[in-house]
Amino acid sequence: MNFISTRGGEKVSGAKAIVQGLSSNGGLFVPEKFPAVTAEEMQAMLEMNYPERATKVLMKYLDEYDEKELLAACEKAYGQFEGNDPAPLVRLDDGVYILELFHGPTCAFKDMALTVLPYLLRKGCDLCGIKEEILILVATSGDTGKAALEGFKNAEGIKIMVFYPDDGVSKMQKLQMCTQEGNNVNVVEVKGNFDDCQSAVKTIFNSSEYAKILKDKNVLLSSANSINFGRLAPQIAYYFSAYLDLVSSEQIQMGEEIDFSVPTGNFGNILAAYYAKNMGLPIRRLHCASNENKILTDFLATGEYNMNREFYKTTSPSMDILISSNLERLLFEISGRNAELITKRMNELKEEGVYKITEEERQKIAEVFTGGYANEDEVVETVYDVFCDVGYTMDTHTGCAMKVAVDWFEKNKKDNTLMVVVSTASPYKFPQDVLYCVTGNDVKDSFKGIKRLHAATAMAVPKSLLTLRDKPVRFTKTAKAANLFDEVLAFVEK
């Protein structure tokens, strides 16, 4: 299958799209057409384990890859997860399920893709005949950075560099990144917020001058953010798997529609669900859940995307984002794949911080997407209520998605469509905030927070977090967003 740019002018193979990350004009790669998963294929997938299901979904897009090799890569990737199932469903209440995506090496949903991406990228280089060293640049709001570092550590022919905002990630997230092992990794704190990090990294990717400097050093840039289709594609698989688990456990009939409520920052996670729907998965609605940085909620309600607003630091920092990069892929589809229009709107966003879609486009989005958000008090109340009512502990990001799901059912009391709330991180990645939600107690130390949260909930503590306390901090560098390329060069020349 070929891939095209949301801003036109380029058509490449799946392998090339993954290796390149962004198109040369700054657009995002999307499939030339959506592949279908037939009813017969869905039926066959019922008996498959998670790596087998993921392989079947990925092969729909990446048909130049070898299926047996890809299956082996998926088995290796998901073999690192705790428990028997990488993406288990937990029944919370009548008609409400939690899809747990935090059982991987770094305790966040990004592991579902970033444990597979190293294979997709390395094999993609082989398929494209690329011999240069690959340098992966990652802007992170907390979870992607650690998951990418862990996935690519010590990978042959690949270096990875992660940028995170100062005071914009949780203490546990920062510790995870700054203690990262590996001889090919680097981590830099950036003065500013996630959008500053992401914009600076995109500037590096889009600069022909920087590309030439790196090429002279035999280095090729790539990305592990969800702007890279190789990051997005494995995420499509867990929506299929969740649905199939509901069918196999006789909670729904094959073909019956369900809803997903997804905590959303950069729009990649919920976009993967939209792609699954376009492939034939029976999804009725997608509930886009934001925190107080509710730019997506407002966009879905008005059709205007306006980032000229106050930025809030919240207890769900992975969603503290005002530039949702993957929304560009959705706009491309609902505009009738109008690359010229997408280019115009993205330029407006860059220059003026705002663009507006037509009412017809907004209504088209509204047929599938519902927007909602939770403020900080509502997150605390939601996490507390669920813990008290059913004894289930969720993190603050999942709390936002649960609040949006609860709001939906309160407004639509006769709706019997099953709802799956997507849980994106272990509560132990945000122990102090979750502890406050369930007990009302404050602690300053993250590890004391873990201890007390465990005492209060009896939820198992992930082994990878327990070992963090004794790891030495390796990375302490801080830089301004404008100076990130200098940091890149220093790392390349090491």
* All domains in the chain, ordered by first residue: 89-104+230-459 (3.40.50.1100)
Q: Which one, of 270, 316, 394, 306, lies nearest residue 141 by Cα?
A: 316
| Rounded CA separation 131/113 (Å) | 24
Q: Are 16 and 228 in contact (CB under 8 A)?
A: no
Return the half-sphere exposure (C-beta side, CA atoms, 13 A cut-off) of residue 241. 27
Phi-psi region of 37 (alpha: psi -120 to 50; beta: other; left: phi over 0): beta
User: Three-state SS for 107?
Assistant: coil
pLDDT, residue 143, reads: 87
Q: Are 426 and 457 in contact (CB under 8 A)?
A: no
pLDDT, residue 168, reads: 84
Predicted model pTM: 0.95
Q: Are 202 and 485 in contact (CB under 8 A)?
A: no
pLDDT, tens digit, 9 for 90 and up, residues 277-312: 999 999 999 999 999 999 999 999 999 999 999 999
pLDDT, residue 225, reads: 87
Q: What is the DSSP string of 269-288?
A: HHHHHHHHHHTT--EEEEEE
Q: Are 295 and 259 in contact (CB under 8 A)?
A: no
pLDDT, residue 347, reads: 97
Instruction: Using DSSP bridges, classify how beta strands 219-223 and 133-139 pair: parallel, antiparallel or unpaired.
Output: parallel
pLDDT, residue 167, reads: 80
Q: Which one, of 157, 155, 152, 212, lies nearest residue 177 by Cα?
A: 152
Q: Are 335 and 346 in contact (CB under 8 A)?
A: no
Return the half-sphere exposure (C-beta side, CA atoms, 13 A cut-off) of residue 125. 18
Instruction: Using DSSP bridges, classify how beta strands 354-356 and 185-191 pair: parallel, antiparallel or unpaired.
Output: unpaired
339-352 helix and 327-334 helix, angle to the nearest 10 degrees:
140
pLDDT, residue 142, reads: 81
Tokens of 434: 């979750």
Q: Which residues of the chain have pLDDT under 50?
A: none
pLDDT, residue 94, reads: 83
pLDDT, tens digit, 9 for 90 and up, residues 407-432: 999 999 999 999 999 999 999 999 99
| Rounded CA separation 426/395 (Å) | 6
H helix intervals, 338-483? 339-352, 359-366, 376-390, 396-411, 431-439, 446-457, 463-466
